[in-house]
């Protein structure tokens, strides 16, 4: 374990500033991610929430510089990462060689579908040992020993035997444990988890989330948690950034976000959860209905002018279509201001917004 310097406590492990990524397609330029800024403190979890196509995964792949070359992605912005030595590096600007030294070492990643992210023709032991050999220069035997320790760390029964088995011999939950073991092999300081429990059943999801929580407490790593599951976010994130059509529309500490969502999209997203309707007003008599967000996300090829959410928003006015609102710090939050941001004209020219807290 590296010694923690005093700066570590203040400096965010990762600070993303104005990240954007666009793809050139036959039909035109698709701005998948635009002007994304957020931070993750050491030992904390920031969740990136949004629906399909909102840019969550592209954000994480852009940060890891794993967007495939033939996607012809144009990435801009900065992503300041503080490494173990306390050095600040811009992940989007460092040479590829430096990046290779960071990937799987200081920054590790786990994905949604463990079967497609593990190599089916190598034993699990070899796959875990590979990163230890590469980054730590360990011998084959020492690396395998580390791999076994890792399998034990993620509570895989009969680790010594599993070491020599192949991914298809395990269940989905066990495979995700192996993915985590692989990610943890070099004791990363930042773990990017892209929908790590989406493919799993709830009782298995609970096991994996508990495991991640324990490992974070033990190692002090930061986690960027990408998910669409607001239930998981509520219990496993410190900060939340809500994405819509490639942009962050609101970010806040988790409790504040759920208690007082500021952006109409966040409000709508929380309102349409059945779980938040259970003690709602429409009980007996009147027909039960969820408060759904009308319409659907606009095509990224022909975004609406101004705020992307405006066509679906009940509060939209002429001001919403005149230009993209800035992601601005919330003035009302005073001391906490730096952790609360909203991208909405309503916050910039505060109007009375009635919103029944769930």
Partner 1 sequence: MSTPLIEVKHLQRFFGPAARPVRAVDDVSFTIEAGETLGLVGESGSGKSTIGRTLLRLIDATGGEVRYRGEDLGRASASRMRELRSKLQIIFQDPYASLNPKMRVRDILGEVLDIHRLARGPGQREKRITELLELVGLRADQASRYPHEFSGGQRQRIGVARALAVEPEFIVADEPLSALDVSIQAQVVNLLCELRERFKLTMLFISHDLDVVEYLCDRVVVLYLGRVMEVAPTRELFERPMHPYTRALLAASPRPDPTQPTVRIALKGDIPSPVDPPSGCVFRTRCPHAIEACAAQRPPLEAVGAHRYSACIRHDILAVADTANTVNTPEKATLP
Report in angstroms how near the CB of residue 178 gets to partner 1 at its nearest: 14
Report in angstroms how near the CB of residue 278 gets to partner 1 at its nearest: 7
Residue matched to tokens 């680790």: 159
Q: Are 255 and 343 in contact (CB under 8 A)?
A: no
d(CA 167, CA 117): 10
Rounded alpha-carbon distances, angstroms, from residue 157 to 81, 180, 186, 211 = 35, 15, 21, 14
| Residues in contact with partner 1 by the rule CB under 8 A | 51-52, 171, 173-174, 201-207, 209-210, 228-236, 254-255, 258-259, 268-270, 272-278, 287-294, 296
Report in angstroms how near the CB of residue 85 gets to partner 1 at its nearest: 34
Report in angstroms how near the CB of residue 343 gets to partner 1 at its nearest: 18
Q: Are 64 and 107 in contact (CB under 8 A)?
A: yes
Two tokens, residue 158: 């009969």
Report in angstroms how near the CB of residue 146 gets to partner 1 at its nearest: 26
55 or 268: CB nearest partner 1: 268
Two tokens, residue 133: 């050999």
Residue matched to tokens 């786990």: 110
Nearest to 93 by CA among 111, 77, 69, 109: 77
Beta bridge partners, 48, equal: 226, 241
95 or 274: CB nearest partner 1: 274
Residues in contact with 142: Cβ distance below 8 Å, sequence separation at least 6, in sequence order: 132
173 or 188: CB nearest partner 1: 173
104 or 114: CB nearest partner 1: 114
Residues in contact with 105: Cβ distance below 8 Å, sequence separation at least 6, in sequence order: 131, 135, 186, 188
DSSP for 141-180?
HHHHHHHHHHHHHTT-TTHHHHTTS-GGGS-HHHHHHHHH
Two tokens, residue 242: 């809500």
120 or 274: CB nearest partner 1: 274
Two tokens, residue 35: 């002007």
186 or 215: CB nearest partner 1: 215
79 or 159: CB nearest partner 1: 159
Alpha carbon 102 to chain centroid, angstroms: 18
């Amino acid at each position: 374990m590296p010694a923690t310097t005093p700066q570590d406590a203040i400096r965010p492990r990762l600070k993303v500033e104005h990240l954007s990524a666009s793809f050139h397609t036959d039909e035109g330029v698709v701005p998948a991610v635009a002007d994304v800024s957020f931070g993750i403190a050491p030992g904390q979890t920031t969740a990136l929430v949004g629906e399909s196509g909102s840019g969550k995964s592209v954000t994480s792949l852009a940060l890891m510089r794993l967007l495939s070359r033939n996607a012809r992605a144009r990435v801009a912005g900065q992503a300041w990462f503080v490494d173990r030595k306390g050095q600040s590096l811009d992940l989007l600007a460092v040479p590829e060689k430096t990046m290779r030294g960071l990937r799987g070492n200081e920054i590790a990643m786990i994905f949604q579908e463990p079967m497609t992210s593990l190599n089916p023709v190598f034993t699990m032991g070899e796959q875990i040992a590979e990163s230890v050999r590469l980054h730590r220069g360990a011998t084959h035997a020492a690396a395998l020993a580390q791999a076994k320790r890792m399998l034990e760390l993620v509570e895989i029964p009969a680790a010594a035997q599993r070491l020599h088995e192949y991914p298809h011999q395990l269940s989905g939950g066990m495979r995700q444990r192996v993915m985590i073991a692989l990610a943890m092999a070099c004791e990363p300081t930042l773990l990017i988890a892209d929908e790590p429990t989406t493919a799993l059943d709830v009782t298995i999801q609970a096991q994996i989330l508990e495991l991640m929580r324990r490992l974070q407490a033990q190692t002090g790593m930061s986690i960027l948690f990408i998910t669409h599951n607001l239930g998981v976010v509520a219990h496993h994130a410190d900060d939340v950034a809500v994405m819509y059509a490639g942009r962050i529309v609101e970010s806040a500490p988790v409790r504040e976000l759920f208690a007082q969502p500021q952006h109409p999209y966040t409000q709508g997203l929380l309102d349409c959860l059945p779980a938040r309707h259970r003690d709602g007003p429409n009980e007996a008599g009147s027909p039960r209905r969820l408060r759904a967000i009308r319409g659907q996300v606009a095509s990224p090829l022909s975004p609406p002018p101004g705020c992307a959410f405006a066509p679906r928003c009940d509060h939209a006015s002429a001001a919403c279509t005149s230009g993209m609102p800035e992601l601005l710090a919330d003035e009302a939050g005073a001391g906490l201001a730096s952790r609360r941001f909203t991208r909405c004209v309503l916050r910039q020219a505060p109007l009375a917004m009635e919103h029944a807290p769930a």
